[in-house]
Amino acid sequence: MTYEYRFSDDCRLLREMRSLSRAELAEKLGIGIATVNRWENGQTEPTKDNLEKFYSYAYRNGVKLNSIKEQFYREELSRDSILLFHGAKTVIDGVIRPDASRPTNDFGKGFYMGESFRQAALFVSGFETSCVYCVEFQKKGLKAVQYSVDTEWMLTVACFRGRLRGRISEGQSARICAKANNADYIIAPIADNRMYQIIDSFIDGEITDEQCRHALAATELGMQFVLKTDKAVACANILERCFLCDPEKNDYARTRSDDIHAAEDKVRAARIRYRGKGKYIEELL
- The pLDDT value given to residue 31: 93
Residue 108 to residues 61, 63, 133, 233: CA-CA distances in angstroms? 41, 38, 21, 15
Count H helices, E strands: the chain? 13, 7
- Mean pLDDT, contiguous 10-residue spans, the chain (285 residues): 77 94 94 92 89 96 95 90 93 84 89 93 88 94 92 89 86 92 94 75 83 76 91 94 94 74 71 83 79
d(CA 272, CA 275) in angstroms, rounded, equals 5
Question: Considering only CA atoms, which of 79, 132, 122, 107 is closest in space to residue 227?
Answer: 107
Which among 6, 193, 2 has a CA at the least distance from the CA of 90? 2
For the entire predicted model, the pTM comes to 0.87
CA distance 266 to 285: 28
Provide the CA 34 distance to its chain's centre, in angstroms: 37
Q: Is 136 helix (H, G, I), strand (E, B) or coil?
A: strand
- What is the predicted pLDDT for the residue at 2? 47
The kind and range of the H/E element at 254 are helix 246-273
- The answer to whether 153 and 189 are in contact (CB under 8 A) is yes
pLDDT of residue 1: 44
For the chain, which domains are there? 1-63 (1.10.260.40), 80-284 (no CATH)
What is the radius of gyration, based on Cα positions, of the chain? 22
Rounded CA-CA distance 216/195 in Å is 6
Residue 255's contacts (CB-CB under 8 Å, 6 or more residues apart) are 118, 122
Phi, psi torsion values for 168, nearest 5 degrees: -130, 160
What pLDDT, on the 0 to 100 scale, is given for residue 190?
Answer: 84
List b or e across 21-34, with b for residues whose CB sees 16 or more CB atoms inside 10 angstroms.
ebeebbeebebeee
Nearest CA to 209 out of 275, 281, 285, 120 is that of 281
| Residue 95: C-alpha distances to residues 98, 135, 137, 236, 259 (Å) | 10, 13, 14, 10, 34
What are the start-end ranges of the E strands in the chain? 81-88, 111-114, 131-138, 144-146, 185-189, 223-227, 236-243
CA distances 32 to 26, 42, 108, 139, Å, are 6, 16, 49, 46
Identity of residue 276: G
Eight-state DSSP code of residue 64: -
